Structure 1
Amino acid sequence: MQPRAGMAAIALLALTTVAACGGSERTAAPADEATTITMWTRAATQAQSERLVKAYNASHKNQVKLTVIPTDNYQPRIAAAAGAKQLPDVFAADVIFVPNYTSQGLYLDISDRIAALPYKDKLAPSHIRLGTLDGRSYTLPHTLDLSVWFWNKDLYEKAGLDPEKGPTTLKEFAEQATTVDEKLGKDGKVHGTFFGGNCGGCYVFTFWPSVWASGAQVMDAEGTTSLNDQAAMTDVFKVYRDLYAKGVTGPTAKEEQGPTWTGFFPKGEIGVMPMPSTTLGSMPKEMRIGVAPIAGPDGGESTFVGGDSVGISSTSENADAAWDFLSWTVSDEAQVEVMAKNKDIPARTDLADNKYSAQDPRVVLMNSMVAKGQTPYALRFGQTFNDPQGPWLRLAREAVFGDAGKVAQLNAEITKSLQQ
């Protein structure tokens, strides 16, 4: 899940159930006999989807016809297609919304097919977990995006910090950010750190890993009770609250709604900040960048494992051909020669250190975080945490910029939203 501002509450509960429990693993067209299957993906993962489809089409008799849909329109399109029983053979989805889709019966049960894969236990665990319902599996990992800390080695050097030593705790993160700001921020162009202070998705993507790194949780396992009023979360909020109060975060953090929150670091204006792993490959070639796992106040490490999962629609009449494509996307060939070659995170933990990632220790580190990170499970995630009018953003903004005494009350509102 790469955070975006303005993501409206998605009417996922309006999805029409098709094929109870997501259907069964029926056999349709032969695996690779010139069958054309249809696939949908959202624009946020267009590049990766197009590369996989192009490589598959070039090496198989089957062909995949890909349709890319604007990210903000994707959930409504899925809902409309499900209601009309016109879903494509295959569709990807932001991993955070997969539990809702599986509960609505939109994906085909592919448990036995996944179980037969020789590397089934090496598939990205968070993606597999969110694609599992009542012990049955419905999706595979499609793309992965992780939250990590980037630091600007040039700014560290100018500020008198060791450019080769990034933060190992959230407290060190705050100290290093403060040093950069104090030493280099007099002209107002350089700031110690930055975050999306008016973006619910930005908060969950960048703040929650510090809670997990501390050994705590932000919700119960069922995704129905919020724990965001507990010390593990409020301690993280306090660190950022203090950074903002001292002016270390820059003046626009409070208003940042999401679209530009990752745009300041590449300009060389930020000392250290949480960033999506997918942005490393697009950084200026001349910029010296360090990468570190997100840590808790006193250590540990974790990451928000975002990205997309993909499955076969429960109404597909080409299940075998669709599986031939999906299983190929997690093969060694696709994961190494298509994904890793383009600096994307492999969907398999056993391929974290491959011939392409080995060229850059930062990529190896990010790949290794897949096994250590988490993806929260909640059927009402979008309405509760991504909706700009939802209760989570109100809580986060009070905790960082407003009246922290309101956190307990607002946390109860989050739980109420999760249980609706």
Structure 2
Amino acid sequence: MYFRTVSGAAVAAALLVPGQLAAEEFSIWVRSDGSEFMPKLVEAYNARGEHKADLQIVPVNELVQKYAIASAGGSAPDALSLDLIYTPAFAEQGQLRDLTEFAKSLPYFDSLSKAHLSVGTVDGKIYGLPFSGDASLLLWNKDLYERAGLDPEDGPSSWAEIQEDAKAIAALDDETYGFYFSGNCGGCNIFTFAPLIWASDGEVLSEDGKKAMLDSPKAVEAIDFYRGMVADGLVPAGSQTDNGANFFAAFANGNIGISPSGSFAIGALNNQYPDLNYGVTFIPGQEEGNWSSFAGGDNIVISAGTDEGKIPAIQDFIEFAYSPEGQTILAQNGAMPVRGDIAEEALAGLDERYLISAEAMANGRTPYTVVFNDLINSSNGPWVTTLNRAFFASSEEDMRQAVGDGQAQMQSVIDAAY
């Protein structure tokens, strides 16, 4: 039997209200991307006075390594708001607590983000629960559409429409371009380019993450679609070397007609560029009417070594985050709600374009792989180096050669993990 030493004051406090657990303090980390919503959520939770969450914000580029080192050294935080794509790796390494029983006891479990749960589940057990959301979307500049003689209220709904609209906008003048993407950013392109493939019934990885599918027909067609827009001069030259630094800023400058982005851009554009007249729609497939989205954000996890006595408090915090109050705090501070049944309620009073983002995330996807960083996010990884080479290839033959080489490199990285 497991015994935990508590102070006399804690025992007395527990005895004051029969059946009530003594207050617990637990540590929780979040990457700096969550520095807007997380402190407010924690502040509201702590104000209730039942338990206390001790928050630490970790720079986004340091969190994964820092958590891995802390876990190995026995100093991991009790809980962590983790970029959802890394959940499989930490779960398979035995560093996360099994949350299956708790998760399935939640009356709204079936309303939680399916994409988050798809990467939070390993071998049938749930190790990560949806916490904060973001979804990839397509933005278009309504003023440029109007100048080009296009309907400013009708965003593109197929690859062909993207290309046609981009050509019309690029023809306006030498300083205006039809389309933009960060051509040397792996994370940006899994977030915004992969949905073009998914929406066309193609794949990037197999469902279990053990097979690369970059050379599948629809993936190759999507790559050639981007290459065609580059070849037609619809994309500014700076796209080729952009490692993500201009992922948001390029469209915000007002001389780009269409650009894939994320729901985070809605708040950022409204706050920083209030005069920019833009629309938001889904990232379309090759055929009109089909669309997809990358469901991003964080899963909340509990470290495997967390003191058993702290688990009820952490679960209480998770349930607070799922409450209408918690989901509203998230929505009002830049994170999409992850409970679909109350998403509209949580977004009430905010920019209506967030509703499109909520729908995108609810029907979005997240690729499962235990080597996401080496495969996708690394600046020297096979995903980004292949796409950059293929997007800016001078011929279809060179593009196909790049894809073939990249497919082999991606599969090699995956095979090394198993």
Taking structure 1 as the reference length, the TM-score comes to 0.89
Identify the residue that residue 295 of structure 2 maps to in structure 1: 305
Equivalent residue in structure 1 for 2:164, among 175, 178, 184: 175
Q: State the Cα distance separating 1:269 from its structure 2 match.
A: 1.9
Decide whether aligned partners of structure 1 residues 176 and 28 sit closer, same or farther in structure 2, where only a CA change above 3 A counts: farther
> The residue matched to 2:239 in structure 1 has which SS?
coil
Q: Is the 8 A contact 1:140 1:310 kept in 2?
A: yes
Q: State the Cα distance separating 1:391 from its structure 2 match.
A: 1.3
1:399 lines up with 2:390 in the alignment: yes
Distance in 2 of aligned mates of 1:39 and 1:82: 13
User: 1:217-261 CA deviation, whole Å, 9 max, x = no partner?
Assistant: 211111011111112111111111111112211120001011222
Distance in 2 of aligned mates of 1:343 and 1:204: 21
User: Which of structure 1's runs of 4+ aligned residues deviate more than 4 A?
Assistant: 26-32
Q: State the Cα distance separating 1:45 from its structure 2 match.
A: 1.7
> The residue matched to 1:59 in structure 2 has which SS?
coil
Identify the residue that residue 415 of structure 1 maps to in structure 2: 411
> The residue matched to 1:34 in structure 2 has which SS?
coil
Identify the residue that residue 110 of structure 1 maps to in structure 2: 99
1:76 lines up with 2:65 in the alignment: yes
Flag the structure with larger Rg.
Answer: 2
Q: State the Cα distance separating 1:66 from its structure 2 match.
A: 0.5
Q: Which amino acid aligns with 1:325?
A: F
Distance in 1 of aligned mates of 2:116 and 2:5: 26
Matches for 1:327-338 after TM superposition, within 5 Å: 327-336=319-328, 338=329
Distance in 1 of aligned mates of 2:138 and 2:156: 8
Distance in 1 of aligned mates of 2:110 and 2:5: 27
Q: Which amino acid aligns with 1:46?
A: S
1:323 lines up with 2:318 in the alignment: no
Unpaired runs of at least 5, structure 2: 7-13, 15-19
Identify the residue that residue 203 of structure 1 maps to in structure 2: 189
Q: State the Cα distance separating 1:361 from its structure 2 match.
A: 3.2
Point out the more displaced range, 409-418 or 120-129: 409-418
Distance in 2 of aligned mates of 1:355 and 1:44: 20
> The residue matched to 1:144 in structure 2 has which SS?
strand
1:130 lines up with 2:119 in the alignment: yes
Q: State the Cα distance separating 1:145 from its structure 2 match.
A: 1.2
> The residue matched to 1:271 in structure 2 has which SS?
strand
Q: State the Cα distance separating 1:61 from its structure 2 match.
A: 2.2
Q: State the Cα distance separating 1:71 from its structure 2 match.
A: 1.0
Taking structure 2 as the reference length, the TM-score comes to 0.90
Q: State the Cα distance separating 1:177 from its structure 2 match.
A: 1.4
Q: State the Cα distance separating 1:308 from its structure 2 match.
A: 1.0
Equivalent residue in structure 2 for 1:219, among 205, 215, 221: 205
Unpaired runs of at least 5, structure 1: 1-25
> The residue matched to 1:375 in structure 2 has which SS?
coil
Distance in 2 of aligned mates of 1:139 and 1:384: 21
CA RMSD across the alignment: 2.0
User: 1:69-103 CA deviation, whole Å, 9 max, x = no partner?
Assistant: 11111111111101111111111211111100111
Distance in 1 of aligned mates of 2:212 and 2:29: 33
Identify the residue that residue 36 of structure 1 maps to in structure 2: 25
Q: Is the 8 A contact 1:145 1:345 kept in 2?
A: yes
Q: Is the 8 A contact 2:137 2:360 kept in 1?
A: no
Equivalent residue in structure 2 for 1:153, among 138, 142, 160: 142
1:254 lines up with 2:240 in the alignment: yes
Q: Is the 8 A contact 2:282 2:293 kept in 1?
A: yes
Distance in 2 of aligned mates of 1:51 and 1:377: 30
Decide whether aligned partners of structure 1 residues 39 and 55 sit closer, same or farther in structure 2, where only a CA change above 3 A counts: same
Q: State the Cα distance separating 1:409 from its structure 2 match.
A: 2.8
Distance in 1 of aligned mates of 2:237 and 2:388: 15
Give the % identical residues. Answer: 32
Q: Which amino acid aligns with 1:395?
A: T
Task: Count how many residue pairs are aligned between Structure 1 and Structure 2.
Answer: 392
Distance in 1 of aligned mates of 2:26 and 2:115: 27
Q: Is the 8 A contact 2:266 2:353 kept in 1?
A: no
